[in-house]
């Protein structure tokens, strides 16, 4: 418990690192709620990063934001930020529908871009963005889609425990309790590329892709729950899906950005539901070498579960359960069976402390890429394209329209 409290205190209230003489100066597009955690907090412990500017369309709101987070430069519009020669990199957490436009403009201005997920509105935009000559040269700006959980050592450890060719099933789930996302939120606006699969659903979708390490062959099922009548019926407030992967394994997801149902009893129906994000991987049964009579065999079926994969620096656990059995080779009769269970945690990576957040690990990789240093993990452009292709395919299978591009960009 003391370790938990100490680690979280250091994560949320870190000691600021002295800045080097020529840090990467980051500018924020908009006054988002995520930037203080994703960039501002992470930058405090990075000696090579300085959050230098913020741009917003509401001058009063932007000024208050800059004052609160001690950001020295205020720009009255997004283009002014991109035109600022003192800014090296841009963080783009704007509504989904504006990602493509302002990322393209930032790249044209020569800025590196840390781009919030989902990268863009649809696969067409993704292909145009990530295949652009703006990012294909050896000295082009760095462009990174911010799937921050992928950079934490706990997630990297989890992946090492997976036998990809032997996966039978992989399931990932993540929800937001009812009451956090109001019906008027930008995430509920189709014209801004909203929807559950474009928000909380991007996490479990990316997880099953990373677990299998390849792309699915087919979307077998895609189900959704729409917003209540009277609201935008093109928006999914919950989404589930099933995909077949090349090894024959099945990947499934469940996501909900307005989850209710309470706990334990139907009397709590309508109350918010709270559940930890989770990825569960079931392997096929395999025969292992054992000193047994020739007419018997030892088989093992392994399941690996990661709890709280999105914010593992707060707390996480990796469960490994092995179901063992000794049985007859011909009749399949069980002679003996038993279960072995172990638990792992991985807070500290090769760099940093155990209090580094997922965002801090992500920022480390972003800076290292800009400085042309090796990175421990990365989300490359082809991966971001395939993520959006999978999202578009799921929407089509569900009978929902692909999220639109804003015309005139």
Percentage of the chain surpassing pLDDT 90? 90
The pLDDT-based confidence of 81 (bands split at 50, 70, 90) is very high
The 3-state DSSP class for residue 17 equals coil
Q: Per-residue DSSP letters for 168-215? A: EEEEEEEEEETTSS-TTSGGG-GGGT-SSTTTTTHHHHHHHHHHHTS-
pLDDT per residue over 282-303, tens digit each? 999 999 988 888 999 999 999 9
- What average pLDDT does this structure show over 343-359? 96
The count of other CB atoms within 10 Å of the CB of residue 148 is 25
pTM (2 d.p.):
0.94
Catalytic residue numbers, as ranges:
117
Please tell me whether residue 275 adopts helix, strand or coil conformation. coil
Average pLDDT, integer, range 202-215: 98
Mean pLDDT, the chain, integer: 95
Residues 6+ apart with CB under 8 A from 7: 313, 347, 354, 355
Average pLDDT score over residue span 149-165: 98
């Amino acid at each position: 418990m003391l370790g938990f409290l100490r680690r979280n205190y250091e994560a949320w209230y870190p000691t600021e690192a002295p800045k080097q003489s020529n840090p990467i100066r980051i500018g924020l597009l908009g006054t988002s709620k995520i930037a203080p955690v994703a960039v501002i907090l992470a930058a405090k412990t990075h000696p090579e990063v300085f959050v230098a500017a913020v741009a917003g369309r509401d001058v009063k709101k932007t000024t208050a934001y800059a004052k609160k987070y001690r950001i020295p430069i205020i720009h009255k519009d997004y283009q002014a930020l991109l035109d600022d020669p003192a800014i090296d990199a841009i963080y783009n957490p704007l509504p989904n529908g504006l990602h493509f436009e302002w990322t393209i403009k930032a790249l044209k201005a020569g800025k590196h871009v840390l781009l919030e997920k989902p990268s863009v509105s649809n696969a067409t935009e993704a292909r145009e963005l990530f295949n652009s000559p703006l990012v294909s040269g050896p000295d082009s700006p760095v462009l990174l889609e911010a799937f921050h959980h992928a950079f934490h050592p706990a997630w990297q450890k989890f992946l090492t425990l997976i036998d990809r060719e032997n996966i039978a099933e992989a399931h990932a789930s993540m929800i937001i309790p009812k009451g956090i996302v109001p019906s008027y939120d930008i995430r509920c606006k189709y014209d801004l590329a909203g929807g559950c699969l474009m928000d909380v659903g991007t996490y479990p979708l990316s997880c099953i892709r990373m677990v299998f390490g390849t792309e699915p062959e087919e979307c077998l099922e895609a189900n959704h729950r729409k917003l209540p009548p009277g609201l935008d019926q093109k928006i999914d407030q919950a989404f589930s899906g099933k995909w077949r992967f090349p090894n024959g394994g099945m990947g499934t997801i469940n996501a909900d950005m307005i989850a209710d149902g309470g706990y334990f009893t139907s009397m709590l129906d309508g109350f918010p539901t709270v559940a930890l994000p989770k990825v569960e991987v079931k392997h096929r049964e395999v025969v292992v070498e054992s000193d047994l009579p020739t007419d018997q065999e030892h088989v093992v079926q392994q399941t690996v579960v990661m709890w709280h994969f999105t914010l593992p620096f707060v707390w996480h656990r990796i469960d490994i359960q092995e179901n063992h059995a000794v049985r007859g080779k011909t009749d399949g009769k069980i002679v003996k069976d038993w279960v072995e269970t172990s638990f792992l945690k991985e807070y500290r990576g090769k760099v940093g402390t155990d209090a580094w957040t997922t965002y801090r690990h992500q920022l480390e990789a972003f800076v290292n890429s800009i400085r042309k240093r090796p990175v421990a993990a990365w989300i490359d452009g082809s991966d971001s394209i395939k993520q959006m292709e999978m999202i578009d395919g799921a929407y089509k299978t569900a009978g929902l329209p692909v999220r639109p591009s804003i015309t005139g960009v």
